Amino acid sequence: MPLNLDQFAQHLRTNALPGFGQGKCAKYVRMALQAGGAQISQYAPAGRDFGPVLLQLGFHAITVDNPDTFHFMKGDVMVMQPYTGGNQNGHVAGYDGSKWISDFIQSDFWAGPGYRAERPSHVVYRY
């Protein structure tokens, strides 16, 4: 069953928590993917480990040289590794066509000041 990116994006928007969320990015992105029709039998509890799940769903990694200027598309999903001193679960978020959203709406690609300052390793996946 193909993934409905409109439903995925809508679920992200309508379920985002205020502020910086609750550190449950993997859960919220998984629920949005499932709302879009994804069948996920085993999922990664940590954002940093979400890549294999996305590949199984038919996503593929794309090259993003500079996330600050890249033109992302609705349905893109980013998987970010942890930064030094930050949450060791890393981060995962989906793009709704205008904003990056996980369990909160991000101000940009980077999920907060620590990620923005250190710019840890990351991969963007496209369906």
Can you give the pLDDT at residue 41? Answer: 81
Answer whether residue 42 shows pLDDT above 90.
no
CA 7/CA 38 separation, integer angstroms: 11
Can you give the pLDDT at residue 44? Answer: 84
61 close to 123: Cβ distance less than 8 angstroms: yes
**Spacing of C-alpha 3 from chain mean position:** 15
Per the prediction, the chain carries an average pLDDT of 95
pTM of the model: 0.95
Integer Rg of the chain from CA: 13
CA 70/CA 41 separation, integer angstroms: 32
Tens digit of pLDDT for each residue in 47-106? 999 999 999 999 999 999 999 999 999 999 999 999 999 999 999 999 999 999 999 999
Structural domains in the chain plus CATH codes:
5-126 (3.90.1720.10)
